């Protein structure tokens, strides 16, 4: 076996590719060959979070040096100086802290931010997502082999149940229990679906897993399929995620070529067939029954529940639907055991959570940390504080359907139970952090505008409630709001929650309810005093452009 | 004027080939609509009619599906489609000013196509690249951290 002394990684996300990452990759290969280094130094394309201006990036391991932005013309110098002579090229080097908007992380070496703990994103940015061998080298398909050879389906479900893993799509339902429901459902034919229709504003964690580590999802789906007795699966990927679709397609083909997908896997009688279904642009399709309707060739309108997909899902057959981040935990749990997993995070919410950090902070980007850290810690440690020293006003957790967290809740541990006790939801893990320049009426308007468009229109409370709430908020922003509007808003927020058919409508009202609960005075100032305290709304004299 | 597709095929035979290749199960409807939209730039009445004949699905169902999803269009679009993200993370990061600049530069309202059929300007929900908001996508090119001043130069890259 040849000895590798160094690994060179080129960022291969869509923005990097637009900026010539492939040319840099090719130039690196050429130069390494020219210096006779191709046997001892490998070059891989990896995934990364985008940051125009510094893309494409080149990372050199084990030195943990990042260069950016690199052009093909820079490559000869970099190879000669750093990889041949061992001297870091300082003028091209960048610090991980400059990497606003990307994974500010470099294995367990220099530049690691405190307390990051990677399970879901373990391989992202480290392995070549288009090379199955690279995945196998990083323990890939080991968990599948273990399950098929040493564990019964019941053992598998019990292991996941014992781990305490809860669904990361937003609702936090115990994953093992869901698996058990599908396993116990009557029917010869069952399906497994990976919900990769991530379109919650502010959330892009699933995209990174799909683009950076697609095989981990295939492997986890197969473990789930074995556990529940399914032999066919779908990955429903949001249509806009072109690179993710491409990488997943390639991963499926490679797994098929290795006999890791198909009939009689590892010589057992377990067979599994996997398809990709690309979404066509509809937020509602992240709702599992809407997603199922969409695969069947219909408008993505949610079905009444019950029956739940676990008993009557795709083509009315029992169906296991799991989110990408949930699945990305599975192989690690199987390999390391439930006890290992249970020891991470909090008692009722074990494991880690991936957060995307956005808004008025110094470092935006993405982290994976144990469950239970607080918002204050996220802002001060990972986001390096508020931008321009401004004051924290609020954060929205979990995307547009998430909760609005006022400063008083900054020290609540972020886990499912602590959050639900405080009356807020963790959602998808997007953290939109806002300073005092953000007006809650304006923010609510943007959020309701989103739901107004994304409501599928099937049920009245959601279709009409979102539209009407948006109109009322516009009036308040214009300075023509009345006290009755305030009452109407409260009523509509409550009714959206109480009367809507599915999660979209039920959660659409939650930012509105939170704003009325925590920032009522600011809304009242708009109505009674005709003043926008943050100076954002049209009534404050600024010319504000309405998108609609 | 009949729309022509790749290789001089007419729309009906293009649709026919797609259905032959992918099958006429209803589950293939959305993937096939994607392909038609990609090839023609939109889903024409003629394409819907032919699909209906070949897949034995009512035109009303096909139309209702085609108009439900944001990535599919039943109206012709310009040579370049500009998608502007209007979701909260981009908004908070300064998206409003970028939108103003885009509109000023193009002279278009939301959803409009320019008279010379060069541009179509649409707004969209989150595109999943929120780390670098405000974000606009022109055709398949993603631009992040966009400032209002950059907009004219970005548009110059497209003929």
Q: Residues with Cβ < 8 Å from A338, sequence gap 6 or more?
A: A159, A160, A161, A162, A163, A164
B contact residues 32-61, partner A, Cβ 8 Å cutoff: 33-34, 57, 61
Q: Residues with Cβ < 8 Å from B134, sequence gap 6 or more?
A: B85, B90, B91, B93, B94, B95, B98, B144, B145, B146
Of residues A254 and A45, more confidence is placed in A254
How far is the C-alpha of B98 from the C-alpha of B118, rounded, in Å? 20
Q: Which of A279, A296, A359 sits opposite B92 (nearest CB)?
A: A359
A contact residues 108-167, partner B, Cβ 8 Å cutoff: none
CA distance A430 to chain B (A): 10
- Is residue A214 within 8 A of residue A324, CB to CB? The reply is no
Stretches in chain B below the pLDDT threshold 50: 1-2
For residue B27, give Cα distances in angstroms to A276, A297, A341, B31: 12, 4, 38, 8
Q: What pLDDT was estimated at residue B145?
A: 85
- Is residue A140 within 8 A of residue A214, CB to CB? The reply is no
Mutate to test the interface with A, among B126, B140, B141 (most CBs of A within 10 A): B126
Q: What pLDDT was estimated at residue A538?
A: 86
β-pairing verdict for A65-67 and A93-94 = antiparallel
Tokens, residue A373: 């850290």
Three state DSSP letters for A33-84: HHCCCCCCEEEEEECCCCCCCCCCCEEEECCCEEECCCCHHHHHHHHHHHHH
Q: What pLDDT was estimated at residue B5?
A: 67
Q: What pLDDT was estimated at residue A156?
A: 98
Q: What pLDDT was estimated at residue A363?
A: 80
Q: Residues with Cβ < 8 Å from A454, sequence gap 6 or more?
A: A282, A283, A284, A504, B125
Q: What pLDDT was estimated at residue A2?
A: 59
Q: Chain A contact for B154, CB < 8 A?
A: no
With CA atoms as reference, report the closest residue to A247 among A134, A325, A118, A131: A131
Q: Chain B contact for A296, CB < 8 A?
A: yes
- Is residue A516 within 8 A of residue A433, CB to CB? The reply is no
A205-254 confidence digits (pLDDT tens): 999 899 999 999 999 999 999 999 999 999 999 998 999 999 999 999 99
For residue A459, the tally of other CB atoms under 10 A from its CB is 19
For tokens 């452009």, name the residue: A545
Residues in B touching A396 (Cβ below 8 Å): 88
pLDDT band at A298 (very low <50, low <70, confident <90, very high): very high
| Cα first-last separation, chain A | 62
- Is residue A91 within 8 A of residue A111, CB to CB? The reply is no
Which pTM value belongs to this model? 0.91
Q: Chain B contact for A192, CB < 8 A?
A: no
Is the pLDDT reported for residue A190 higher than 60?
yes
A426-468 confidence digits (pLDDT tens): 888 899 999 999 999 999 999 999 999 999 999 999 999 999 9
Residue of A nearest to B104 (CA): A545
**In which order are the strands placed within the sheet that holds B119-124?**
B119-124, B80-85, B136-138, B141-143
Is the pLDDT reported for residue A107 higher than 50?
no
- For residues A190-213, b (16+ Cβ closer than 10 Å) or e, as one string? bbbbbbbbbbbbbbbbbbbbbbbb
Cis peptide before A69 (omega within 30 of 0): yes
Give the residue-averaged pLDDT of A21-28: 94
Determine, for residues A202 and B65 on separate chains, whether the beta-carbon distance falls below 8 Å. no
Residues in A touching B111 (Cβ below 8 Å): none
- Is residue A100 within 8 A of residue A365, CB to CB? The reply is yes
With a pLDDT cut of 70, the percent of chain A lying above it is 93
Tell me if residue A11 falls in helix, strand or coil: strand
Is the pLDDT reported for residue A270 higher than 50?
yes
Residue of B nearest to A300 (CA): B68
Of residues A123 and A162, more confidence is placed in A162
Q: Chain B contact for A546, CB < 8 A?
A: no
Q: What pLDDT was estimated at residue A108?
A: 40
Tokens, residue A42: 């490998």
Q: What pLDDT was estimated at residue A362?
A: 85
With a pLDDT cut of 90, the percent of chain A lying above it is 70
Determine, for residues A15 and B129 on separate chains, whether the beta-carbon distance falls below 8 Å. yes
Q: Residues with Cβ < 8 Å from A92, sequence gap 6 or more?
A: A67, A68, A70, A74, A78
Give the residue-averaged pLDDT of A478-486: 95
How far is the C-alpha of A380 from the C-alpha of A390, rounded, in Å? 13
With CA atoms as reference, report the closest residue to A156 among A322, A333, A343, A321: A333
At residue B86, φ and ψ (nearest 5 deg) are: -110, 20
Q: Which of A278, A283, A360 sits opposite B125 (nearest CB)?
A: A283
B contact residues 70-129, partner A, Cβ 8 Å cutoff: 70-72, 86-89, 91-93, 96, 99-100, 103, 110, 123-129
CA distance A199 to chain B (A): 6
- Is residue A124 within 8 A of residue A217, CB to CB? The reply is no
Q: Which of B25, B103, B131 sits opposite A365 (nearest CB)?
A: B131
A312-350 confidence digits (pLDDT tens): 999 999 999 999 999 999 999 999 999 999 999 999 999
Mutate to test the interface with B, among A191, A547, A548 (most CBs of B within 10 A): A547
A63-79 confidence digits (pLDDT tens): 778 898 899 999 999 99
CA distance A435 to chain B (A): 10
Cβ pairs bridging A and B (under 8 Å): 159
Residues in A touching B34 (Cβ below 8 Å): 239, 278, 280
pLDDT band at A275 (very low <50, low <70, confident <90, very high): very high
């Amino acid at each position: 076996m040849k000895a590798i002394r160094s690994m060179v990684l080129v960022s291969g996300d869509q923005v990097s590719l637009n900026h010539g990452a492939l040319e840099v990759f090719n130039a690196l290969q050429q130069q390494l060959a020219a210096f006779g280094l191709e046997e001892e130094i490998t070059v891989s394309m990896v995934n990364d979070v985008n940051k125009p201006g510094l893309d494409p990036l080149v990372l050199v391991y084990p030195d943990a040096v990042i260069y950016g932005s690199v052009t093909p013309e820079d490559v000869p110098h970099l190879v000669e100086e750093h990889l041949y002579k061992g001297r870091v090229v300082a003028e091209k080097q960048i610090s991980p802290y400059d990497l606003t908007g990307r994974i500010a992380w470099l294995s367990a070496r220099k530049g690691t931010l405190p307390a990051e703990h990677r399970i879901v994103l373990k391989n992202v940015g480290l392995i070549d997502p288009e090379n199955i061998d690279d995945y196998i080298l990083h323990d890939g398909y080991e968990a599948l082999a273990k399950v098929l050879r040493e564990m019964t389906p019941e053992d598998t479900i019990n292991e996941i149940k014992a781990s305490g893993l809860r669904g990361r799509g937003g609702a936090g339902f115990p994953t093992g229990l869901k698996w058990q429901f599908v396993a116990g459902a009557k029917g010869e034919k069952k399906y497994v679906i990976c919900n990769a229709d991530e379109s919650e504003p502010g959330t892009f964690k699933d995209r990174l897993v799909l683009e950076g580590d697609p095989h981990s999802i295939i492997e986890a789906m197969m473990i789930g399929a074995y556990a529940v007795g399914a032999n066919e699966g779908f990955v429903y990927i949001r249509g806009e995620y072109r690179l993710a679709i491409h990488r997943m397609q390639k991963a499926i083909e490679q797994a098929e070529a290795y006999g890791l997908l198909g009939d009689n896997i590892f010589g057992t009688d377990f067979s599994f067939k996997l398809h990709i279904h690309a979404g066509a642009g509809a937020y509602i399709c992240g709702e599992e029954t809407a997603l199922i309707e969409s695969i069947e060739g219909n408008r993505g309108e949610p079905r009444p529940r019950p029956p739940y997909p676990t008993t009557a899902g795709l083509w009315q057959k029992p169906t296991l639907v799991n989110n990408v981040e949930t699945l990305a935990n599975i192989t690690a749990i199987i390999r390391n055991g439930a006890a290992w997993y249970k020891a991470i995070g909090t008692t009722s919410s074990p494991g880690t959570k991936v957060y995307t950090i956005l808004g008025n902070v110094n470092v935006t980007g993405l982290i994976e940390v144990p469950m239970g850290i607080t918002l204050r810690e996220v802002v001060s440690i990972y986001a390096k504080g508020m931008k321009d020293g401004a004051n924290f006003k609020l954060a929205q957790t979990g995307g547009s359907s998430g909760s609005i967290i006022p400063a008083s809740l900054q020290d609540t541990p972020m886990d499912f139970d602590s959050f639900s006790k405080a009356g807020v939801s963790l959602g998808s893990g997007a953290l939109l952090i806002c300073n005092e320049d953000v007006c809650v009426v304006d923010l609510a308007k943007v959020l309701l505008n989103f739901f107004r468009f994304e409501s599928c229109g099937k049920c009245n409370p959601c279709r009409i409630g979102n539209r009407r709430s948006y109109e009322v908020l516009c009036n308040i922003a214009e300075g023509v709001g009345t006290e009755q509007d305030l009452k109407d808003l409260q009523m509509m927020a409550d009714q959206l929650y109480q009367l809507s058919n599915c999660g979209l409508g039920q959660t659409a009202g939650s930012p509105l309810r939170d704003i009325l609960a925590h920032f009522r005075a600011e809304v009242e100032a708009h109505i009674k005093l005709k003043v926008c305290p943050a100076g954002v709304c049209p009534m404050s004299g600024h010319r504000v452009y309405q998108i609609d | 004027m009949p729309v022509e597709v790749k290789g001089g095929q007419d729309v009906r035979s293009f649709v026919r080939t797609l259905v032959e290749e992918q099958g006429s199960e209803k589950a293939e409807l959305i993937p096939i609509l994607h392909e038609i939209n990609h090839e023609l730039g939109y889903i024409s009445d003629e394409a819907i009619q032919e699909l209906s004949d070949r897949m034995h699905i009512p035109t009303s169902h096909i139309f209702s599906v085609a108009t439900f999803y944001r990535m599919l269009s039943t109206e012709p679009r310009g040579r370049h489609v500009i998608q502007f993200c209007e979701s909260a993370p981009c908004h908070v990061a300064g998206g409003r000013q970028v939108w103003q600049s885009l509109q000023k530069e193009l002279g278009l309202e939301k959803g409009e196509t320019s008279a010379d059929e060069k541009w179509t300007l649409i707004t969209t929900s989150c595109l999943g690249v929120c780390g670098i908001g405000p974000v606009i996508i022109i055709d398949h090119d993603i631009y992040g951290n966009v400032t209002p001043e950059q907009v004219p130069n970005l548009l110059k890259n497209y003929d």
